Structure 1
Amino acid sequence: MATPTPFARQLSAELIGTALLLATVVGSGIMAEHLAGGNVAIALLGNTLATGAMLVVLITAFGPMSGAHFNPVVSLIFTLKGEIAPRTGLAYTGVQIAGAVLGVWLAHAMFGLDIAQASHKVRTGPAQWLSEGVATFGLILTILAVRQARADAVAVMVGLYITAAYWFTASTSFANPAVTLARSLSDTFAGIRPQDAPLFILAQIAGALAALAVCHWLLQPPTQESLPS
């Protein structure tokens, strides 16, 4: 059997990692809702802890292989920064979306649900869109700032950020277009109506671009003239 090329391994890492992330988001939502007995706060807490923990694991495991983006806006930002080629960014985005859908279907299969679904959960309105912009802004800011300050802490910091953002944003912090598209295919606790997904995604892209602009200024090394005397 031929050894996969480095690029094939990178794409496989993004596919598998994104699939496991979505299986966790949706599967833990199903389990949490089932066990919480109608207490939505407890269900959200279970969903949050599982997602944050899995992000730490996945970023640590797959970071050396592909960078562990698992998110089209993360790939977009690194493309715009010139750290990956546009071809790579597009390929990552394709496999991230495919992996996200596979992860949702896997969660459905594990819980004995219909594989093909469409969500009926309403998530729309200015507060939700603002929340997605803020959530994605904070995610990109976390990644870029922590990479510069302490690169070996990115996995933990991203996991902690998403854990917090589940609770401080009205949208529960999707912050990921692939996640948003895939969750529209799950009529479960973690779902979003397909018609609500496009504006979530636009808000996520806007938040990511805003974070890139802020970080371009904020994370510049200080010049000699700007250092305090």
Structure 2
Amino acid sequence: MPGLTIGDQIPNLEVETTHGKFKLHGFISDSYCIIFSHPADFTPVCTTELASMAAYADKFAERGVKLLGFSCDDVQSHKEWIKDIEAYADNKHRVGFPIAADPTGELIKELNMVDPDEKDSSGRPLPSRALHIVGPDKKIKLSFLYPGSTGRNMDEVVRALDSLKKASQHKIATPANWKPGDQVVIAPSVSDEQAKEMFPQGFKTAELPSGKNYLRFTNV
């Protein structure tokens, strides 16, 4: 994906939000942060997504993760739209996270959140359904990019976040369809001797036709 991507440090942009004005690096501080964009306020899929993000806010907070929404609408529009979002959620979940405004569309360009095919009535590019998981080092650890017609799956965002945080703590990776509690795989850079020390609980090596011992499972 061209532009800002995994491994890049996000720019320290100053943003005006529903919670006031701040710079991104200061907001993130030493936490993980999910920065996500939506095409426009007062639109159907975006309303369901923001309601879902509000419903999952406690799950992210438990993991020490901050949330920051983004679109090209202004702050006043965001504040009015929040009333619809919370009503759609039966007022069970509040939008407690800030939503940033970007009326000129310049900030979403710097964050690589522009939809190449969608434009407003004036011809200005609209945001895609992009989502960056940013680490405490201010670098992008993972990005999702969806078209306007496809709403995001918050369970997958949580799962991916758990995978990222676990991999940052151990020399492991998570296999396909992994979920918390499942076994993980030991990084190929770790020798069997090192693995015995690093994973005293033991590990199991899959028997493969190649005879290579690169697929090793353990619990962490």
Q: What TM-score do you get using the length of structure 2 for normalisation?
A: 0.29
Greater per-residue strand proportion: 2
Higher relative contact order (CA 8 A, sep 6+): 1
Structure with max Cα Rg: 2
Greater per-residue helix proportion: 1
Q: What TM-score do you get using the length of structure 1 for normalisation?
A: 0.28
